[in-house]
Amino acid sequence: MNGSAVWHPFTQHALEPAMPAIARTEGAWLQTNDGTRILDAISSWWVVTHGHRHPKIMDAIRNATETLDQVIFAGLTHEPAEQLASALVDIAPAGLDWVFYSDSGSTSVEVALKMALGYFRNIGAPRSRIVVMEHGYHGDTIGAMSVGARGVFNAAYEPLLFDVDTIPFPAAGREQETLDAFETVTRDGQAAALIVEPLVLGAGGMLMYPARVLAELKRIAERSGTLFIADEVMTGWGRTGTLFACEQAGISPDILCTSKGLTGGAIPLAATLATDAIFRAHYSTDRAKTFFHSSSYTANPIACAAALANIDIWHEEPVAERVAALSRMQSEKVARFSEDPRFENVRATGTIAALELRVGNAGYLAEVGPRLRAFFLGRGLLVRPLGNVIYVLPPYCVTSDELDRLYEAIDEAGASGSR
């Protein structure tokens, strides 16, 4: 204990050393109180896209505070939220015509699940089963935990969680098993929705699967009348190489969840986008069919202004080219470990690269995880392995030389055995 009253997330304080205090951020870098610079190789938990403190986003936040702070969003509206909703509909996959705001990725998933269940109840054909993918992670609120993988993240909270139908992860060479399982579980027409992380499963280990599987899952969902929920909280805003991962499969989900990069990572905001059919199922003179969800900070005007600035950056700056360049660099630099016996399952999708250190006890609680984190931090690199899974997910402003420094450290970690 160091005298701090702060209880940090995903932190076992009995085992953690004193934490560096960050005094400044800029670009791909964090700076501590004593001036030490740390390369943010994980975009501060996958949120920062263009780089820390992008001037346009910072200016938008400052300007918004001149006229607005929080405004209740039940019964009132404001221009930043209206403009942002229109902008999101314009850039999202076709058919997502309505935008519901919330505060985080987890709450955007809660909203999506409630939309799906409300849709079927309101059209008079109630369904209650949710289908999920093995190893998925969708957040830490109760509904989001229920549709995520069961394990160390949520074992203590098992009594609170509802049952789901789980289909296997589409591992290489076994994709058809996933599709067959989904076909089977939807055959009776009682599945309300499938929720998946498109192309990359984040906290589940940066597991990756091809776009053709995503497209086929959507086809099966359509055939059975099952709603398709794309959790693009991590995969959206360029992480997988396109603005939204669904684009690579050529699909439009019925519901899409977005957060993290929505504001460029500067300030919390989330949105759940839905089709007109889902909105219309809640549109009625019967007040019992209202969509009953909100939070105190729904559609915070300052956060909406930051998100609008982020979208402007996508339109006005060569962000797609930066994403493409980073994607190429990631694929090239991680490939050096493809035949390295110290590592396995070397992979990349878009701007995300991952590989697994061969250890005796793998998994999220692998003993090597905290040692790896300390190893990288000691070299001025913020890397937060998922157990023995080392992943690189930097802001789009990162340079080739900065990535080289990171991959040299990965090489050193493998050589030193950090085990």
Residues 272-308: pLDDT tens digits?
Answer: 999 999 999 999 999 999 999 999 999 999 999 999 9
pLDDT(407) > 50: yes
Query: 175 and 93, same structural domain?
Result: yes
Query: 180 and 158, same structural domain?
Result: yes
* CATH number of domain containing 262: 3.40.640.10
Query: 409 and 350, same structural domain?
Result: yes
* pLDDT bracket for residue 1 (50, 70, 90): low
220's CB contacts (< 8 A; 6+ apart) are 179, 182, 183, 186, 226
Query: 312 and 340, same structural domain?
Result: no
**Residues 137 and 204: beta-carbon distance below 8 Å:** yes
Cα(141)–Cα(144) distance, integer angstroms: 5
* pLDDT bracket for residue 419 (50, 70, 90): very low
pLDDT(136) > 60: yes
* Bridge partners for 102 per DSSP: 270
* Structural domain containing residue 309: 58-316
Query: 362 and 239, same structural domain?
Result: no
Amino acid identity of residue 199, one-letter, is L
Query: 322 and 181, same structural domain?
Result: no
Pairing of strands 381-382, 352-357: unpaired
Cα(339)–Cα(342) distance, integer angstroms: 9
Using CA atoms, how far residue 401 sits from 39, 333, 336, 353, 381, in Å, is: 12, 11, 16, 16, 13
260's CB contacts (< 8 A; 6+ apart) are 46, 47, 105, 233, 234, 236, 237
280's CB contacts (< 8 A; 6+ apart) are none
Q: Tokens 């229109």 sit at which residue?
A: 86
In the prediction, which pLDDT does 17 show? 87
Residues 15-50: pLDDT tens digits?
Answer: 988 899 999 999 999 999 999 999 999 999 999 999
CA dihedral (110, 113, 115, 117) positive or negative: negative
* 22 within domain boundaries: no
Q: What is the mean pLDDT of the chain?
A: 96
Query: 235 and 367, same structural domain?
Result: no
% of the chain residues with pLDDT over 90: 95
Query: 102 and 126, same structural domain?
Result: yes
Residues 265-275: pLDDT tens digits?
Answer: 999 999 999 99
Question: What is the mean pLDDT of the segment spanning 105-132?
Answer: 98
* pLDDT bracket for residue 361 (50, 70, 90): confident
4's CB contacts (< 8 A; 6+ apart) are none
Residues 206-265: pLDDT tens digits?
Answer: 999 999 999 999 999 999 999 999 999 999 999 999 999 999 999 999 999 999 999 999
Query: 106 and 189, same structural domain?
Result: yes
pLDDT(380) > 70: yes
In the prediction, which pLDDT does 365 show? 87
How many separate domains does the chain show?
A: 2
The model's pTM is: 0.97
In the prediction, which pLDDT does 364 show? 87
Residues 164-195: pLDDT tens digits?
Answer: 999 999 999 999 999 999 999 999 999 999 99
Cα(123)–Cα(62) distance, integer angstroms: 44
In the prediction, which pLDDT does 229 show? 99
In the prediction, which pLDDT does 163 show? 97
* 6 within domain boundaries: no
Q: Tokens 């450290």 sit at which residue?
A: 409
In the prediction, which pLDDT does 417 show? 61
Cα(262)–Cα(49) distance, integer angstroms: 9
In the prediction, which pLDDT does 174 show? 98
* 127 within domain boundaries: yes
Token duo for residue 2: 């160091």
What angle (nearest 5°) sits at the alpha carbon of residue 305, between those of residues 68 and 63?
55
Cα(270)–Cα(258) distance, integer angstroms: 6
Burial of 14 (0-12, 13-18, 19+ CB in 10 A): exposed
- The count of other CB atoms within 10 Å of the CB of residue 28 is 23
Query: 207 and 124, same structural domain?
Result: yes
* 14 within domain boundaries: no
User: Which of 261, 165, 247 lies closest to 214, judged by CA?
Assistant: 247
* pLDDT bracket for residue 418 (50, 70, 90): low
- Three-state helix/strand/coil letters over 306-342: HHHHHHHHHHHCCHHHHHHHHHHHHHHHHHHHCCCCC
Query: 85 and 213, same structural domain?
Result: yes
User: Which of 104, 102, 100, 127 lies closest to 116, judged by CA?
Assistant: 127
User: Which of 171, 190, 173, 92 lies closest to 133, judged by CA?
Assistant: 171
Question: What is the mean pLDDT of the segment spanning 147-172?
Answer: 96
Query: 145 and 94, same structural domain?
Result: yes
In the prediction, which pLDDT does 2 show? 67
pLDDT(199) > 90: yes
**Residues 166 and 134: beta-carbon distance below 8 Å:** yes
User: Which of 191, 182, 220, 198 lies closest to 119, judged by CA?
Assistant: 191
* Bridge partners for 229 per DSSP: 195, 255
**Residues 107 and 270: beta-carbon distance below 8 Å:** yes
* 391 within domain boundaries: no
Cα(328)–Cα(11) distance, integer angstroms: 34
